[in-house]
Amino acid sequence: MLSTLGGLQRYFRVILLLLLALTLLLLAGFLHTDLELLTPLFGGQAEGPPVTNVMFLKTHKTASSTVLNILYRFAETHNLSVALPAGRDVHLGYPWLFLARYVEGVGSQQRFNVMCNHLRFNLPEVQKVMPSDTFYFSILRNPVFQLESSFSYYKSYAPAFQGAPSLDAFLASPRTFYNDSDRLRNVYAKNNMWFDFGFDPDAPVEEGYVRARIAEVERRFRLVLIAEHFDESLVLLRRRLRWALDDVVAFRLNSRSARSVTRLAPEARERARRWCALDWRLYQHFNRSLWGQLRAELGPRRLRAEVARLRARRRELAALCLQDGGAPQNRTQIHDPGLRPYQSGAADILGYNLRPGLDNQTRRVCQRLVTPELQYMALLYSLQFPEKPPKNIPWRGAC
Residue 42 lies in a domain: no
Identify the residue with better confidence: 311 or 341. Answer: 311
Residue 199 lies in a domain: yes
Sequence length of the chain is: 399
Identify the residue with better confidence: 259 or 170. Answer: 170
Identify the residue with better confidence: 120 or 45. Answer: 120
Reply yes or no on whether the pLDDT at 12 is more than 80.
Answer: no
Give the per-residue pLDDT at 397. Answer: 36
Give the per-residue pLDDT at 46. Answer: 47
91-117 residues labelled b (16+ CB within 10 A) or e (exposed): bbbbbeebbbebbbebeeeeebbbbbb
Residue 7 lies in a domain: no
- Distance (Å, whole) CA 379 – CA 69: 12
Give the per-residue pLDDT at 146. Answer: 97
pLDDT tens, residue by residue, 148-189: 999 999 999 999 999 999 999 999 999 999 998 788 999 999
Reply yes or no on whether the pLDDT at 2 is more than 70.
Answer: no
Calculate the average pLDDT of the chain: 88
Report helix, strand or coil for 231: helix
- Distance (Å, whole) CA 153 – CA 151: 6
- Distance (Å, whole) CA 294 – CA 310: 16
Which contiguous run of DSSP H or E holds residue 139? strand 135-140
Give the per-residue pLDDT at 44. Answer: 39
Q: Domain of 119?
A: 54-397
Q: Which of 223, 236, 220 is nearest to 132 (CA)?
A: 220
Number of domains in the chain: 1
Residue 38 lies in a domain: no
Residue 12 lies in a domain: no
β-strand partners of 97: 120
Count of Cβ atoms closer than 10 Å to residue 337 Cβ = 13
Which CATH number is 277's domain given? 3.40.50
Phi/psi at 42 (5° precision): -65, 155
Residue 36: pLDDT band (50, 70, 90) is: very low
Mean pLDDT of 262-284: 96
Residue 31 lies in a domain: no
Residue 35: pLDDT band (50, 70, 90) is: very low
Residue 25 lies in a domain: no
- What DSSP string runs through 342-380? P--TT--B-B--BPTT--HHHHHHHHHHH--HHHHHHHH
Residue 1 lies in a domain: no
- Distance (Å, whole) CA 131 – CA 111: 6
268-272, 344-348, 376-380: which has the minimum mean pLDDT?
344-348
Give the per-residue pLDDT at 1. Answer: 45
- Distance (Å, whole) CA 378 – CA 21: 62
Residue pair 349/342 in contact by the 8 Å Cβ criterion: yes
Reply yes or no on whether the pLDDT at 76 is more than 60.
Answer: yes
pLDDT tens, residue by residue, 292-322: 999 999 999 999 999 999 999 999 999 999 9
